Copies of this chain bind each other. A is one copy, B any other.
Amino acid sequence: MVLIALYVVAITAEAMTAALSAGRRDMDWVGVCVIACVTALGGGSVRDVLLGHYPLTWVRHPEYLWITATAALVTALIAPVMRRLHSLFLLLDALGLVVFTVIGCRIAQEMQLPTTIVLVSGMITGCAGGVLRDVLCNDIPLLFRKELYASVSGLTGAVFLAAQTFDMHLNSAMLIAMVFGLAMRILALRYNWQMPKFVYRDEWR
């Protein structure tokens, strides 16, 4: 099925960008693999643990662990080439975001959870991996500071749900949501769209 192919592309892309993050922190090869697995598979794992949806994806399909670890090691080996592929990676990363989001929404729908939770499940699947990566690399999660990452994930889920309420076929709804989310993300990157920030200083009190 196309969604599985897209999922494999997505976890590979996430693993590769995560490996670059780990490299910025001078981690050793084991660290690079761990960060890659956590980033690529962590969003789905957090979702499954919170929803009680056992067994987790990578427990049922251990090959995903090998794919992400291999992608991370290859990235470490060919890092100098990666720099030229920067735009390609931003695109693949955006693809990962929308694929993860739609999969997360679907799983919550299959568990027949309420609509709010379907949306939240999509956002957790799309974003939690990156948050875990930033926590393990001791950064303030980028998600909360820049880029429309979480917003794009939420909007993708909303379009997916809206398309379904208009009696659209499941696959069409997925396609529309993913194309919409991808376009939003690319536009956000291209024109540097940002959410308004909330800046609060106690010190002025």
Residue ranges of A at the interface with B (Cβ–Cβ < 8 Å): 19-20, 22-32, 34-35, 45, 49-52, 54-56, 58-59, 62, 65-66, 76, 79, 83, 86, 113-117, 120, 131, 135-141, 143-146, 150-151, 154, 194-202, 205
Contacts and interface: CB of A to CB of B under 8 A. Distances in A.
Given A25-B145, A30-B195, A50-B59, 8 more contacts: A23-B198, A26-B198, A31-B145, A32-B144, A34-B143, A50-B56, A62-B120, A66-B116
A200 B24 contact: yes
Contacts of A24: 200-202
Contact of A136 (B19, B35, B131): B131
Contact of A30 (B28, B135, B144): B144
Nearest to A51: B59
Contacts of A136: 131, 135, 140-141, 144
Contacts of A146: 28
28 contacts: A20-B202, A22-B198, A23-B198, A23-B199, A24-B200, A24-B202, A27-B144, A27-B197, A28-B144, A29-B195, A29-B198, A30-B143, A30-B151, A30-B154, A31-B141, A31-B145, A32-B198, A35-B144, A45-B50, A49-B49, A51-B55, A51-B59, A52-B54, A52-B56, A62-B114, A62-B117, A79-B198, A79-B200
